[in-house]
Every structure is written in structure tokens, then in C-alpha cells.
């Protein structure tokens, strides 16, 4: 068992849930409301110094009784120690946790991925948008267990919506390095960029939903 668990219990007492050891890794459950406080303590306290966030991800178990879990994999580069911190979220409650981007900048895209795939929102995230699916994707959160493998809509509706997306809308003109050259662009491209929209969502038709 990682000695950090004992230190956590001394510091936070009841805010720390059960801890288990699995395949040599220590997993410790913490309370949702105090997660950021605890993670900040783990990062900044001498003797802990978990200064590297390996991954943020989430798990949904097949058993509907079990909660959704948000998983933080921490690593201390100096001490070469690893710790897995988990938050359990009730599926019926609102799936919301504090963002850890203020602690680790690298959490930005990781939390966006968790939001995209599981629908868990992160408070105070600077830019919480979908990252893998396109932004106008409206079928839900693909890695949730209630999500059908082939998506919720019929294939023709999916192709139609995909073709409605505007590929240029994923980037700002600054990102494309064409802000100064805007007036020299072809007319149709100028029009698409000027709209600044991220693809139009067509109205859903009756009877296309196949659950």
C-alpha cells in the first residue's frame, strides 16, 4: 500500500474513502466535493509531490448498481511513485466534478475527452468542448453503457449530419494563419469562415430514431 494513503487519512480524515491495492497499484477513493483540494494537496505537499498527471479518464461498469468513476492517475517524477485517485459519481445525480486544469495544464484535453465520451462536466474548465466527436454531434456520449454501438440515429441520418458539418469551423482563422489574407481567399471559403459557425444541425426527422 502506498504510504500516501496514510498521509491522506491523517490530513483529511473522513473525506478519504476506501483504499485498495490492485496489481501493485494503490487506488484511493475520495469525496467528490473535496477532490480538487485533495489533489492539490497531493501535488504541492513536500513528501507527496505528485507533480505529473498521467491520465484523467472515467469508467462505467456493466453493473448498473455501480457508480461512474472518474480516475486520476498521478505520478511523482522525483519520487517515482504512482497513485490512482478515484471519484465515484452516482449515475442519477448530476455528473459534475471540479476541473484540475488549474493544477495540471495537461488535464485540459483529457477532461475534454472524458466530457466527450461520458458526459461528465468539469467545473471551471477553460474550454469544455467535445474533442473527438465533432461539436455538433447530438447523439449522446458514446462510451456510456446505454449508448448503442452503432449510435442512436439511422445510418442515412448520421451520414447526412456528418456531411452538414463544416470542416473549417474546427479552426479559428488565426490557427489557420490566414487572418491577414482573409480578403484574398476564394469567395466560398470566405463565406464559410465568416459565418464562424461550427456546422448546422439539421432538424431531426420523425421516425429516424431507432433507440
C-alpha of 11 from chain center: 28
Give the one residue of 77, 159, 179, 194 binding other proteins; rule: CB under 8 A.
159
DSSP character string of 117-178: HH--EEET-TT---SSS-TT--S--TTSTTS-TT-SB-HHHHHHHHHHS-GGGGS-TTTTT-
Query: Shortest gap between Cβ of 72 and other proteins (angstroms)?
Result: 26
Given a contact cutoff of 8 angstroms between Cβ atoms, the answer to whether 136 and 153 are in contact is no
Regarding 157 and contact with other proteins (CB under 8 A), the answer is: yes
Regarding 138 and contact with other proteins (CB under 8 A), the answer is: no
Regarding 151 and contact with other proteins (CB under 8 A), the answer is: yes
Stated as kind and residue range, the H or E segment containing 52 is strand 52-59
Q: Which is nearer to other proteins, 79 or 195 (CB)?
A: 195
122 class by beta-carbon count within 10 Å (0-12 exposed, 13-18 middle, 19+ buried):
buried
Give the binding-site size for other proteins (rule: CB under 8 A).
26
Place of cell 449508448: 147
Give the one residue of 34, 160, 190, 198 binding other proteins; rule: CB under 8 A.
160
Regarding 129 and contact with other proteins (CB under 8 A), the answer is: no
Regarding 149 and contact with other proteins (CB under 8 A), the answer is: yes
Three-class SS of residue 206? coil
Stated as kind and residue range, the H or E segment containing 6 is helix 4-12
Regarding 106 and contact with other proteins (CB under 8 A), the answer is: no
Q: Which is nearer to other proteins, 20 or 181 (CB)?
A: 181
Span 57-86, contacts to other proteins by CB under 8 A: none
Regarding 198 and contact with other proteins (CB under 8 A), the answer is: no
Which window, 18-26, 76-84, 92-100, 141-149, contacts other proteins (CB under 8 A)?
141-149
Dihedral, CA atoms, 131, 142, 101, 121, nearest 10 degrees?
Answer: 120
Regarding 185 and contact with other proteins (CB under 8 A), the answer is: no
What residue ranges bind other proteins (CB under 8 A)? 133-134, 139, 142, 145-151, 154-167, 202
Amino acid at each position: 500500500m502506498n504510504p500516501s494513503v496514510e498521509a491522506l487519512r491523517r490530513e483529511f480524515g473522513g473525506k478519504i474513502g476506501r483504499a485498495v491495492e490492485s496489481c501493485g497499484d494503490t487506488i484511493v477513493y475520495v469525496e467528490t466535493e473535496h477532490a480538487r483540494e485533495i489533489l492539490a494537496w497531493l501535488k504541492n505537499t513536500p513528501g507527496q509531490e505528485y507533480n505529473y498527471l498521467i491520465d484523467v479518464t472515467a469508467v462505467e461498469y456493466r453493473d448498473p448498481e455501480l457508480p461512474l468513476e472518474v480516475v486520476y492517475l498521478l505520478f511523482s517524477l522525483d519520487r517515482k511513485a504512482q497513485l490512482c485517485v478515484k471519484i465515484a459519481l452516482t449515475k442519477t445525480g448530476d455528473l459534475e466534478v471540479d476541473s484540475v486544469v488549474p493544477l495540471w495544464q495537461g488535464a485540459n484535453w483529457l477532461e475534454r475527452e472524458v466530457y466527450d465520451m461520458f458526459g461528465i462536466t468539469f467545473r471551471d474548465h477553460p474550454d469544455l468542448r467535445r474533442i473527438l466527436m465533432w461539436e455538433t454531434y447530438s447523439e449522446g456520449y458514446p462510451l456510456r453503457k446505454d449508448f448503442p454501438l452503432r449510435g442512436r440515429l439511422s445510418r442515412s441520418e448520421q451520414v447526412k449530419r456528418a456531411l452538414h458539418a463544416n470542416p473549417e469551423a474546427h479552426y479559428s482563422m488565426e490557427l489557420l494563419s490566414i487572418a491577414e489574407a482573409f480578403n484574398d481567399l476564394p469567395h466560398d471559403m470566405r463565406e464559410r469562415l465568416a459565418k464562424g459557425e461550427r456546422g448546422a444541425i439539421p432538424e431531426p426527422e420523425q421516425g429516424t430514431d431507432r433507440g
